[in-house]
């Protein structure tokens, strides 16, 4: 197998990340400011896929990749911030929205902890509707997609390596 070098830091990737985040923020502040700002999420997905793929393949090429360690590191990076955010949102919801919205947001929060918010949200809400603005955790669909990728892609990469 060809040796793949891990990319340490690339300023062009950091600039793209920043532009993607700014686009999404502007979109969420006011959709008329940056109508297609949601494309920033797509850009962020591509960047994450590139960076994580490079990490996995560089470690695989040196026989240093450990699936448990990789998944643990991803969860260690994401879950504490996610839980903190969800606790904060629950407090805000309790004081600011009606009972029905509290229930729906709480369900979505629980699914997001299981990394399935995207599946849950797709069952009851369109992302670009007026109702979606009342859901303070609707944006967690993208985190669920990313985490699902972090679980499935390494499994496929390891399997393909063993097949070769």
What average pLDDT does this structure show over 1-7? Answer: 80
- SS3 of 31, please? coil
The CA R_g of the chain, rounded to the nearest whole Å, is 18
pLDDT for residue 164: 76
Residues 41 and 83: their CA atoms lie apart, in Å, by 21
Give the pLDDT mean for 48-65: 94
Computed over every residue of the chain, the mean pLDDT equals 89
**Can you tell me the distance from the alpha carbon of 47 to that of 61, in angstroms, rounded to the nearest whole number?**
21
Query: What average pLDDT does range 78-93 have in this prediction?
Result: 93
Residue 71 token pair: 């998944």
Other C-beta atoms lying within 10 Å of the C-beta of residue 107:
15
Task: Work out the percent of the chain whose per-residue pLDDT is above 90.
Answer: 59
Specify whether the CB–CB gap between 41 and 24 falls below 8 A: yes
Give how far the C-alpha of residue 67 lies from the chain's centroid of Cα atoms, to the nearest Å.
19
Instruction: Give the number of other CB atoms < 10 A from CB of residue 73.
Output: 13
| Structure-block tokens of residue 22 | 């700014």
pLDDT digits (tens, 9 = 90+) for 120-151: 988 887 766 656 666 778 888 889 999 999 99
d(CA 36, CA 72): 34
Asked whether 51 and 38 are in contact (CB, 8 A), the reply is no
């Amino acid at each position: 197998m060809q040796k793949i070098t891990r990319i340490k830091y690339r300023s062009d990737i950091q600039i793209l990340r920043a532009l993607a985040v700014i686009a999404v923020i502007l979109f969420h502040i006011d959709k008329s400011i940056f109508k297609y700002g949601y494309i920033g999420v797509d850009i962020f997905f591509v960047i994450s896929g590139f960076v994580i793929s490079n990490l996995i393949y560089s470690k695989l090429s040196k026989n240093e990749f450990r699936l448990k360690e990789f998944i643990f590191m991803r969860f260690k990076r994401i879950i504490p911030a996610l839980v903190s955010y969800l606790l904060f949102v629950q407090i805000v919801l309790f004081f600011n929205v009606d009972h029905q919205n509290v229930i729906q947001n709480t369900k979505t929060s629980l699914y997001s902890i299981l990394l399935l918010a995207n599946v849950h949200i797709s069952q009851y809400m369109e992302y670009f509707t007026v109702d979606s603005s009342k859901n303070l955790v609707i944006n967690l669909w993208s985190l669920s997609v990313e985490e699902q990728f972090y679980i499935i892609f390494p499994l496929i990469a390891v399997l393909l390596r063993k097949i070769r």
